[in-house]
Structure 1
Amino acid sequence: MRRLGLIGGMSAESTTTYYQLLNQGVRARLGGLHSAELLLWSVDFAPIAQLQAAGDWARAGAQLAQAAHVLERAGAEAVLICANTMHLEADEVAAAISVPLIHIGDATAQALTALEVKRPLLLATRFTMEETFYRDRLEHYGLEPMIPGEGARERLHAIIYDELCQGVIDVGSRTAVMAIIERGRAEGADSVIFGCTELGLLLEADAVGLPVVDSALAHVNAALAFALADQSPQGRAATPNR
């Protein structure tokens, strides 16, 4: 089994999900008492979020690059940034290490391609929806990502930072996001991306009414494929449940 290095804390809520899903996936594949070999660097998200808000992506990226370098030195054979937004600095992080950076955008795009959809509605932080780094990655796979209108983008951003990242699950926010999805469907979306690793804490994919790719789960599945590439399954392979 290959050892994975996780850059987490962005937020701690979704990093917990990564840890659970990775271990569930290894146990489902290998059986018994098996669990994932993981190294975790969990950042303090508040200073990172301040740098994001100030547009100082280079300083935020430098912190993640340092974390990735330390994880590699500690024995990580691949690194994951356990967040979507900080993939804006993915190239800088990848340049700091000699092991693979498993990119959440690639994992999400490949999962969408497997569903044979074309126009996914991207739900995420304002940075991920409005900057081009993520949508460009999806378009490379032939997808035509859609984003909500400006007011909806602001609402989503507030729900993510003010609620989900702080462990708050609000029924009214769930209703608001479902309304955003319905507007997207009316405008031609044929699928939905949970493009924030916390959105799966708020919404059940089965309740959305369109095919859904949860970026956190897609990222975990890509990481499991890497970690277990040389393993012989004991029984039927399985996908971890969100």
Structure 2
Amino acid sequence: MTRPLPIGIVACSSEGAALCYRTLCAEAPALMGPHAHPDIALHGASLADYVAALERGDRQAVADLMLDSARRLQAAGAAFLVCPDNTIHEAMPLVRPHSPLPWLHIAEVVADEARARGFRRLGLTGTHWLVRSEVYPEALRSRGIEAVRPGDAERDELGRLIMDELVMGVFRPETTARFLAVIAGLQARGCDAVVLGCTEIPLIVSDANSPLPTLDSTRLLARAALRHALAQAR
């Protein structure tokens, strides 16, 4: 009997990693049968270590943390890796050449979904590090899709709310309203969908309340991991 490839989750924030893990376990039974899901291993370095590296702009230190998790997950039996954290994908060019295992790239997964759904101009939300980076613009540009960033003040405000509240499991109605207002502004600038480019944003924003169709990076990554694990079953 073939078995799906074991999945390794490189965690950064607890909320994003938990949502990815829950999605894998909740959606696998529809593909594999009752209660079934691939083997899953998870490792996360301290979020404080990631934040310290991000604040000093040290991409190599971020990459080193990710690679340490990759090696631990390889030892735990993972066959490939996902990271349900958009921000630290800025270090991925430093990670992939030295990784003991292959990775699915969250922005590439989202970009593929956007192209499949026919979106052409995407608003971008996420931490201030992610929004000012080229992680999504590069992935989208290669697929003929334009990325639109919020203004600098909105970028910094949403970044603060993510780090001070969402990653801590604090979900206030006022914060949700602020995110929705920024998304409405992106809609007014001609965007036809919005990337929820922080793995905690889907905890407060979805198609049910967003002015624009949403691309939920966390769940899209988990679903891509399931498809890959099953397609490469051994």
Same fold (TM over 0.5): yes
Matched pairs, number: 230
- Residue 7 (str. 1) matches residue 3 (str. 2): no
Contact 1:65 1:92 in 2 (8 A): no
SS of match in other structure, 2:28: helix
Q: Give me the identity figure in percent.
A: 27
Q: Deviations over 1:195-230 (max 9, x none)?
A: 000000111222213221011111111101111115
Q: Which of 48, 51, 62 matches 1:49?
A: 51
Map of 2:195 onto structure 1: 193
Q: Which runs of 4+ in 1 moved over 4 A?
A: none
Contact 2:87 2:129 in 1 (8 A): yes
- Which aligned pairs between 1:224-235 and structure 2 lie closer than 5 A? 224-230=226-232
Q: Distance in 2 between matches of 1:150 and 1:33?
A: 45
Q: TM-score, normalised by structure 2?
A: 0.94
Letter in 1 for 2:217: S
Q: TM-score, normalised by structure 1?
A: 0.91
**Alignment RMSD (CA, Å):** 1.3
- Which aligned pairs between 1:14-33 and structure 2 lie closer than 5 A? 14-33=16-35
SS of match in other structure, 1:174: helix
Map of 1:125 onto structure 2: 127
Structure 1 alignment gaps of length 5 or more: 232-242
- Following superposition, the deviation at residue 79 of structure 1 comes to 0.7
- Following superposition, the deviation at residue 172 of structure 1 comes to 0.6
SS of match in other structure, 1:158: helix
SS of match in other structure, 2:165: helix
- Which aligned pairs between 1:116-195 and structure 2 lie closer than 5 A? 116-195=118-197
SS of match in other structure, 1:207: coil
Q: Distance in 2 between matches of 1:36 and 1:164?
A: 28
Contact 2:136 2:147 in 1 (8 A): no
SS of match in other structure, 2:231: coil
Map of 1:79 onto structure 2: 81
